[in-house]
């Protein structure tokens, strides 16, 4: 998930550098959404792991 977010971020940066504003904006938006989803899933996984009694890695 984080890899996809980074991929869209790179696409957005390249598109912005080449002057493609629409593509850059869309790619940056997708990257933001994927990053937030990644953070939410990460926090849920850490809470679930703590609830099982396993220490964090």
- Checking if the pLDDT of 55 tops 90, the result is no
Mind listing the pLDDT tens digit for each residue in 2-39? 788 888 888 888 988 988 888 888 888 988 999 999 99
Model pTM score? 0.72
Mean pLDDT over 32-47 rounds to 92
According to the model, what pLDDT value does residue 57 have? 66
- Checking if the pLDDT of 51 tops 70, the result is yes
Residue bearing tokens 């959404």? 33
Q: Quickly list DSSP for 8-37.
A: HHHHHHHHHHHT-HHHHHHHHHHHHHHHHH
- Checking if the pLDDT of 40 tops 90, the result is yes
From the list 2, 27, 29, the residue with the least C-alpha distance to 12 is 27
């Amino acid at each position: 998930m984080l890899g996809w977010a980074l991929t869209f971020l790179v696409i957005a940066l390249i598109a912005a550098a080449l002057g493609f504003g629409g593509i850059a904006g869309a790619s940056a938006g997708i990257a933001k959404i994927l990053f937030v989803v990644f953070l939410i899933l990460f926090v849920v996984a850490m809470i679930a792991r703590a609830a099982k009694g396993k220490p964090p890695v």
